[in-house]
Amino acid sequence: MKNFTIYLVILIFLFVSKVLGQETFESKAKEIANKIEKITKEEKATLKEEVEAVNVQLSEGKITQEQADKRKKELAEARAVIIEEKVTLSQNELNDLVQQKVDGKIKEQDSTRKNRLVIYWDEKNWNNKKSKDSIHGERRTTSQFVFAMGLNNMIVDGKLQDSNYSFIGSHFYEWGFTYNSRLMKNDNLLHAKYGLSLMYNNIRPTDNRSFVVNGEQTNLEVNTINLDESRFRNVYIVLPVHLEFDFTKPKVSNGKTYFKTHESFRFGIGGYAGINVKSKQILKYDQDDLDYKTTIKGDYNVNNFIYGLSSYVGYKALSLYVKYDLNPLFQDNLVDEKNISLGLRLDLN
């Protein structure tokens, strides 16, 4: 039941993220379309009133037919310029929104659904604006899929326990989703990065040993069977939070500044906190010419909670990633062993 609840939370998180992405695109596109429609209607209504006023002057004999026609033409041209200026601003927003959709940053509602939103705009205006403004900035908050993997081990009093655990054979894996929010409106350096991750920490004991629970103590003991593999895995759901420094330079076009992320050097400092959702030991061995694999699940006196520090530094999507647990792996062991990981991290938009 514990595992079912945890994985259900993950599925709900993914579903909500997807739905929010759809609603953001559709509601924003509809808002822009309504704005364009409103501008056009208002300006046409104003032009109609102005033309009626000219007709009144003509009927009263205050102006000639030639003067009336000339005045109507001038009013129509002036109102057309106003409409174009106002609509151009909205079309800029629409172009940016469409570009984000093309780049895969915003998900669109399934085209098989009924009553879906379809927007048409003048191709000439689109081409003109595209040539004038070909740089598109990101939203202030973006989202990324995160995947990390690398080497895993334990530390006791600042010393790596590579004699107790295989240095090359012990690994960690992490995947999840993060949101990246620019903290300052007019500066791209500081970002808050936060999200939800699933973390796997694996350690492989050396010298044919495996973990044995003796009351409140969890000890490494030599196994009576010659083991081909001994692996201890802990799975966590964590909430990572980082302050990210992104050195991607803003771009300027037509006097406007556009911000983007993950296009240059960046580094983040922060930490994480979460809960343990599974602990198990995997033993593989040969006996009587048969291959055996034994998976033993239990709490192993592992701490139910995890918290620690983490940091990364890299270029664009790829970075070097390190994390260190501040609390020990086991609750009441005489020796406090703390997990440490070093590897590579991908942040994909």
Q: What is the pLDDT of residue 115?
A: 44
What is the distance between the alpha carbons of residues 123 and 300, in angstroms, rounded to a whole number?
66
pTM: 0.62
C-alpha distances out from residue 121 to 23, 87, 135, 142, 185, Å: 21, 11, 20, 27, 30
What is the distance between the alpha carbons of residues 228 and 211, in angstroms, rounded to a whole number?
15
Distance of CA 234 to the CA centre of its chain: 25
302 plus 188 within the same structural domain: yes
Q: Which of 132, 158, 190 is the last residue of a domain?
A: 132
42 plus 88 within the same structural domain: yes
pLDDT digits over 87-121, tens only? 777 777 777 777 676 666 665 444 444 444 444 44
Weakest mean pLDDT among 118-132, 259-273, 296-310, 312-326:
118-132
Count of the separate structural domains present in the chain = 2
111 plus 215 within the same structural domain: no
Q: Can you say whether the dihedral through the CA atoms of 137, 139, 140, 145 is positive or negative?
A: negative
243 plus 331 within the same structural domain: yes
- Domain of 48? 2-132
259 plus 240 within the same structural domain: yes
153 plus 238 within the same structural domain: yes
What is the distance between the alpha carbons of residues 267 and 245, in angstroms, rounded to a whole number?
5
What is the percent of the chain where pLDDT is above 90? 51
pLDDT digits over 13-46, tens only? 555 555 444 455 667 777 777 778 788 888 888 8
pLDDT digits over 182-196, tens only? 998 888 899 999 999
Q: Which of 70, 102, 132 is the last residue of a domain?
A: 132
168 plus 96 within the same structural domain: no
With a cut of 80, say whether residue 132 has pLDDT above it: no
Q: Which of 132, 164, 189 is the last residue of a domain?
A: 132
Reduced DSSP (H G I as helix, E B as strand, rest coil) percent helix, strand, coil of the chain, to 5: 30, 45, 25
Residue 35: how many CB atoms within 10 A of its CB?
A: 16
User: Tokens for 211?
Assistant: 């973990």
